[in-house]
Amino acid sequence: AQKVTQAQTEISVVEKEDVTLDCVYETRDTTYYLFWYKQPPSGELVFLIRRNSFDEQNEISGRYSWNFQKSTSSFNFTITASQVVDSAVYFCALSEASNNNDMRFGAGTRLTVKP
Amino acid sequence: DTAVSQTPKYLVTQMGNDKSIKCEQNLGHDTMYWYKQDSKKFLKIMFSYNNKELIINETVPNRFSPKSPDKAHLNLHINSLELGDSAVYFCASNQPGPIRETQYFGPGTRLLVL
């Protein structure tokens, strides 16, 4: 069974602080895919990143960066110099190659960035 | 040129009614999904359809039935609505294959059962 844990239910920071959202996953598959989605207050789900299990290279996109570590089964997400517009619920998700198109989401982390 | 669209955006109805939510994607994807997001923001997959074939059916009550007239549409029909059905329902689509493609989501339909 696949499982995604986002232990941080809510995080509150002040603008310009850096913040890291944790994601730990469990899977028996050797081939799997990890995702991060953002859900702003308006409610839509916005795709941020996809990472394959065989590609552990970290990724940076502007103020966003992701740290994928298979040794600890983690796929953490860092926002540098946070802004008020980053306030949202962030979801980590896992999809196993053997589990036909099934994507399981973590419970989400609500990030509030205060001015 | 919305990729995944859902109608209606909001739906308020009485217990016992039957309602449908429509979903359309213009991405040419072969697989479409329905998710339910409860009041605690927990997202759970309900169904997926690949070329008109149901390939995932989680433990969802049979009051819920997905209907796919073609691969660009996956509608969700709900019979005998209950209070517990109140949630946000998201449609999504992707192109399955050896490399798991990203699922893209619609804007959500906020269902409130009174």
What's the CA gap between A62 and A33, in Å, rounded? 22
Q: Tell me: pLDDT of B101 over 80.
A: no
Across the interface, of B42, B103, B108, the residue whose CB is closest to A44 is B108
DSSP, residue by residue, A38-95: EE-TT---EEEEEEETT----EEETTEEEEEEGGGTEEEEEESS--GGG-EEEEEEEE
Average pLDDT, chain B: 90
Q: Kindly identify which residue of chain B lies nearest to residue A92, measuring between CA atoms.
A: B43
Q: Between B64 and B98, name the one with better pLDDT.
A: B64
Handedness of CA B101, A24, A80, B90 (dihedral sign): positive
The predicted pLDDT at position B87 comes to 96
The predicted pLDDT at position A57 comes to 81
What's the CA gap between B63 and B80, in Å, rounded? 7
Across the interface, of B42, B94, B100, the residue whose CB is closest to A107 is B42
A28-87 pLDDT, tens digit per residue, is 989 899 999 999 999 999 999 999 898 888 888 899 999 999 999 999 999 999 999 999
Interface check for B62 against chain A (CB to CB < 8 A): the answer is no
The predicted pLDDT at position B1 comes to 62
**Biggest distance spanned by C-alpha atoms of chain A:** 44
What is the average per-residue pLDDT within B55-70? 85
Residues in A touching B107 (Cβ below 8 Å): 43-44
The predicted pLDDT at position A20 comes to 98
Q: What is the dihedral of CA B93, A36, B9, B52, to 10 degrees?
A: 20
Q: Tell me: pLDDT of A13 over 70.
A: yes
Residues in A touching B44 (Cβ below 8 Å): 105
What's the CA gap between A94 and B57, in Å, rounded? 18
